[in-house]
Amino acid sequence: MPVDLKAVTRRPPEVVKVRVKRFHPEKGQGWWQTYEIKTYRGMTVLDALLKIKAEVDHTLVFRYSCRMGVCGSCGVVVNGEPRLSCQTQISEKATPERPEVVVEPLYNFPVLRDLTTDFTEFFEKHRKVRPYLIRLDKQERENPALEYEQRPEELEAFYEYTLCISCGLCDAACPVYASNPRFLGPQALAYAYRYLADSRDEGWRLRLEELERDGSVYRCHFAASCSSVCPKVVDPAGAIQRLRRALLAYNLRLFKKRTAKNVEPMKVSAERWPLPPEARLMEGVDLEAQEKGAPVIPKEKLLED
Ligand code: SF4
Ligand code: FES
C-alpha cells in the first residue's frame, strides 16, 4: 500500500494507546501490553515504538534501520494490516473516536521476540529462484569487460520488480503462504519474474524448469492481497500470472526471449555547455579560468580570507 501522504498533515489524537503483542522466547508465552503515549504531528508507528522504548519500557524489541522505507526491516502488522512501521502515520490509524493503534509481529513468520520475526525461511525461498543474472558464456563471466545492450522497453518490462525491498509484507498478507509451507510466496516469485523478464538474463530455462517442478506458481489462488499491501507498489500477483503464462508457453515450446548482446562499452562524448551568466558573476570564483585548468578560487582570494 502506498504511503498515505494526507495522513502526514493530519494531527493525531493527543494521547494514543499503543497495544503491542509481545512474546518472550524464554517465558515461551505471548501477552498483550498497552502503553499510553503523547503524540505529535508526523509521528509514525516506528516513532511511537522508539518513544516507548526510550521513555517507558526498554525491554520492548522491534527491528528497524533506515527509518525511510528503504531497508524493508521494520515490517509489522498495524491494526490488522502488514505495514512498514516507519511509513505508517499514527494519524492514519488512530482516530479521536478510537485513539488506539494495535501492533503485532508480521503474520506467517516465526516470532523471535516481541515484534521481531525470523526471515531465515523467507531468504531460503528467495535464494531458490536464483535472484541474480545468469549468463551462459563462461568466457564472458570470467572476463566481464563488455556491456549489455538493453533497450528502454526491455528495462520497462521488469523495472517495477527491481523496486522490491524484500520487506516480506506480501508474504505476511498471503493466505496461501499461511497455509502451505511449500509455497515460495509472492516475494520470491516476484523476484523470479524480475529475472525472467530481464533481457540480460539467460537463465530462464533453469528457472522455469525449477518453478515447474516446485509447482509454486500454480498454488497461488490469486487473492491479490500481496499486491494491495506492497509499500513499493510492486505487483507480485501480476508477476505470478505472468510466470504462469511463461510456463505455459515454455511447456508448449513457444517461449521466446530476446537476450541482450554483449557489446563494446559505449563511448560517451558530451559537449561542454557554456556557463550561465550568473555562474560567471560568482564573487571571487573564476569558473571560466577553472575551465582552462586554473584553480576555482584565485590564490590572492584565498590569502585574503
Ligand atoms: S513485493 Fe512489495 S511487499 Fe513484497 S517484499 Fe517486495 S516490497 Fe515488500
Ligand atoms: S526502517 Fe527501513 S523500511 Fe522502515
pLDDT in tens, 105-139: 999 999 999 999 999 999 999 999 999 999 998 88
Ligand 1 binding pocket includes 230 (Cβ within 6 Å): yes
More confident residue, 290 or 269: 269
Q: For residue 169, which ligand has an atom nearest its CA?
A: 1
Closest ligand to the CA of 163: 1
Cell numbers representing residue 219 in the block: 498454488
Q: Is the pTM of this model over 0.95?
A: no
Q: Which segment of 5-9, 16-20, 203-207, 219-223 scores lowest on mean pLDDT?
A: 5-9
Q: Using CA positions, which residue lies closest to atom 3 of ligand 1? A: 230
Whether residue 5 is predicted with pLDDT greater than 90 in this model: the reply is: no
Numbered ranges of CATH 3.10.20.30 in the chain: 5-116
| CATH 1.10.1060.10 intervals, the chain | 120-262
**DSSP code, position 107:** T
pLDDT at residue 279 is higher than 90: no
73 lines ligand 2 (CB under 6 A): yes
Ligand 1 centre and the CA of 67: distance in Å?
A: 17
Q: Which residue has the cell 571571487?
A: 284
**pLDDT number for residue 278:** 63
Ligand 1 within 6 A of 75 CB? no
Q: Which atom of ligand 2 is nearest to the CA of 85?
A: 4
Confidence of residue 22 (pLDDT cuts 50, 70, 90): very high
Of residues 271 and 48, more confidence is placed in: 48
Per-residue model confidence (pLDDT) at position 141:
84
Q: Which of 205, 207, 176 is nearest to 193 (CA)?
A: 207
Q: How much is the pLDDT for 276?
A: 67
- Average pLDDT rounded to a whole number, residues 200-207: 93
What is the torsional sign of CA 187, 191, 193, 197? positive
Q: What is the model's pLDDT at position 197?
A: 96
Confidence (pLDDT) at 261: 83
* pLDDT band at 179; cut points 50, 70, 90: very high
**Does the pLDDT at position 233 exceed 70?**
yes
The CA–CA distances, whole Å, from 263 to 98, 121, 258, 266, 271 equal: 61, 39, 15, 8, 24
CATH among 3.90.1150.10, 1.10.1060.10, 3.40.50.300, 3.10.129.10 for 120-262: 1.10.1060.10
Cβ count within 10 A of residue 80: 10
Ligand 2 centroid–CA 99 distance in Å is: 24
Ligand 1 pocket: which of 119, 165, 189 to mutate (most atoms within 8 A of CB): 165
For the chain, percent of residues with pLDDT exceeding 70: 88
Residue 3 has pLDDT above 90, yes or no: no
- For residues 233 and 2, the answer to whether their CB atoms sit within 8 Å is yes
Using a pLDDT cut of 90, give the percent of the chain over it.
73
**258 falls in which pLDDT band (50, 70, 90)?**
confident
**Residue range 227-248: average pLDDT?**
96
| Mean pLDDT on 70-93 | 97
> What's the average model confidence in pLDDT over 183-210?
95
Domain 5-116 has CATH 3.10.20.30: yes
**Contact, 188 vs 128, CB < 8 A?**
yes
Among 171, 244, 185, 174, residue whose Cα is nearest residue 212: 244
pLDDT at 79: 97
The lowest-confidence range among 80-89, 236-245, 272-281 is: 272-281
What pLDDT, on a 0 to 100 scale, did the predictor assign at position 305? Answer: 46
Q: Which pLDDT score, from 0 to 100, does residue 295 have?
A: 63
Average pLDDT over every residue of 164-190: 96
CA 284 – CA 281 distance, rounded (Å): 9
CA distance 46 to 58: 14
